[in-house]
């Protein structure tokens, strides 16, 4: 009898705790999501911004253009129930979606995450944190600003604004674009990542059309 009562009390307590996750702890759980999702409106990373996600139609953020057809056509509206299922096992909820994330199996952690997300996804929520200022590539130091790239046979020769010239095997130099506000100015590409050291590097342009025009062929 006593055991049954204790069990009942335990069940009540655990279902109660499900409803009332701890937003503070949830903020830590959200770190698992933050690599791909911001809480700033319209600031999309690998995944769409989660600002305003509560009540949003799945795949419905206009500014995010990389949704899977599977998510867009799922008919899901995001609320406590659908988000809990998604956070537990995205592939089970929407097979073929593009979110490379295995899910959080621990119920308590999901309840905390949702308590956090419900608040932090509201417009202007202090829980969302301050917008993270990205280092702007427009103010890169001369060592990283690229003034010329020459291609000869299987190699690229890159000159920096500081006057350094570096040689790369063509397979080791990557070209990227960053059209966001923190990206480089037009025709002012910037080296990032390993910077001007080592045998490989990345050069970021403001748009794809600039890349071929910037690189001069010549030996
Ligand atoms: C590795 C990157 C990555 C991680 C980590 C990640 N997501 Fe995602 N997420 C995505 C991508 C990409 C999509 C778009 C999926 C699609 O279109 O199929 C997405 C979609 C979503 C959506 C749908 C949004 C909408 O506008 O319909 C939600 C909600 C979401 N993620 C929540 C989370 C939460 C919560 C976590 C952490 C527990 C998380 N994600 C972790 C990349 C990620």
Q: For ligand 1, is residue 73 a contact (CB within 6 Å)?
A: no
Do 85 and 107 reside in the same domain of the chain? yes
By alpha-carbon position, which residue is closest to atom 23 of ligand 1?
58
* Residues 190 and 184: beta-carbon distance below 8 Å: yes
Write the pLDDT tens digit of every residue in 2-12. Answer: 555 544 444 44
Whether 6 is covered by a domain: the verdict is no
In a domain, 120, yes or no: yes
Residue 77 lies in a domain: yes
Mapping DSSP to helix (H, G, I), strand (E, B) and coil, where does residue 34 land? Answer: helix
- Tell me if 37 CB under 6 Å of ligand 1: yes
Residues 113 and 151 in one domain: no
- 29 and 73 in one domain? yes
Element (H, E) at 35: none
Nearest ligand 1 atom to alpha carbon 104 = 38
One domain, residues 81 and 165? no
Q: Is the pLDDT of residue 193 over 80?
A: no
Give the model's pLDDT for residue 13: 43
For the chain, what is the mean pLDDT? 90
Nearest CA to ligand 1 atom 33: 33
- Cβ-count burial 91-128 (b if 16+ within 10 Å, e if not): eebbeebebebeebeeeebbbbbbbbbbbbbbeeeebb
Q: Which of 30, 34, 37, 65 to mutate to test the pocket of ligand 1 (most atoms within 8 A of CB)?
A: 37
pLDDT at 111: 98
Residue to mutate, 99, 111, 113, 114, ligand 1, most ligand atoms under 8 Å from C-beta = 99
Range scoring the smallest mean pLDDT among 6-20, 36-50, 80-94, 198-212: 6-20
Indicate whether 11 belongs to any domain. no
How far, in Å, from the CA of 37 to the mean position of ligand 1? 7
In this predicted structure, the answer to whether residue 91 has a pLDDT above a threshold of 80 is yes
Mean pLDDT, range 137-151, rounded to an integer: 95
Q: Is the CB of 44 within 6 Å of ligand 1?
A: no
Same domain (yes/no): 123, 173:
no
Binding site membership of 32 for ligand 1 (Cβ less than 6 Å)? yes
Q: Would you say residue 82 has pLDDT above 70?
A: yes
Last residue of a domain, one of 128, 150, 175: 128
> Does the pTM exceed 0.85?
no
Does position 1 have pLDDT exceeding 90, yes or no? no
pLDDT reported for residue 133: 67
- Residue 70, domain extent: 16-128
Among 111, 128, 145, identify where a domain stops: 128
Token pair 């010329």 is found at 148
The verdict on residue 123 lying in a domain is: yes
Please say which residue of 107, 128, 149 terminates a domain: 128
Average pLDDT over residues 29-40: 95
Tell whether 8 is covered by a domain: no
Q: Are residues 29 and 120 in the same domain?
A: yes
pLDDT in tens, 52-63: 999 999 999 999
Is residue 179 located within the same domain as residue 123? no
Q: What is the pLDDT of residues 114-135, one digit of tens each?
A: 999 999 999 889 888 876 666 7
Same domain as 97, residue 27: yes
Q: What atom in ligand 1 is closest to the CA of residue 61?
A: 26
Does a structural domain hold residue 75? yes
Give the HSE-up count for residue 33: Cα atoms under 13 Å, Cβ half-sphere: 28
Domain total in the chain:
2
87 lines ligand 1 (CB under 6 A): yes
């Amino acid at each position: 009898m006593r055991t049954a009562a204790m069990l009942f009390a335990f069940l009540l307590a655990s279902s109660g705790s499900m409803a009332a996750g701890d937003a503070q702890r949830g903020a830590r759980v959200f770190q698992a999501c933050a690599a791909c999702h911001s809480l700033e409106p319209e600031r999309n990373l690998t995944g769409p911004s989660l600002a305003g996600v509560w009540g949003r139609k799945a795949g419905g953020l206009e500014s995010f253009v990389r949704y899977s057809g599977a998510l867009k056509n799922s008919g899901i509206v995001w609320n406590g129930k659908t988000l809990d299922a998604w956070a537990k096992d995205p592939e089970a909820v929407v097979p073929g979606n593009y979110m490379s994330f295995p899910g959080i199996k621990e119920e308590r952690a999901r309840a905390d995450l949702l308590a956090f997300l419900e608040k932090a996804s509201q417009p202007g929520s202090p829980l969302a944190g301050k917008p993270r200022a990205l280092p702007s590539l427009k103010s890169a130091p001369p060592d990283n600003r690229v003034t010329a790239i020459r291609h000869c046979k299987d190699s690229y020769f890159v000159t920096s604004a500081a006057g350094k010239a570096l040689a790369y095997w063509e397979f080791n130099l990557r070209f990227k674009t960053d059209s966001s506000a923190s990206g480089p100015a037009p025709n002012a590409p910037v080296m990032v990542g390993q910077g001007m050291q080592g045998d490989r590097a990345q050069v970021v342009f403001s748009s794809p059309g600039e890349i071929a025009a910037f690189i001069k062929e010549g030996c």
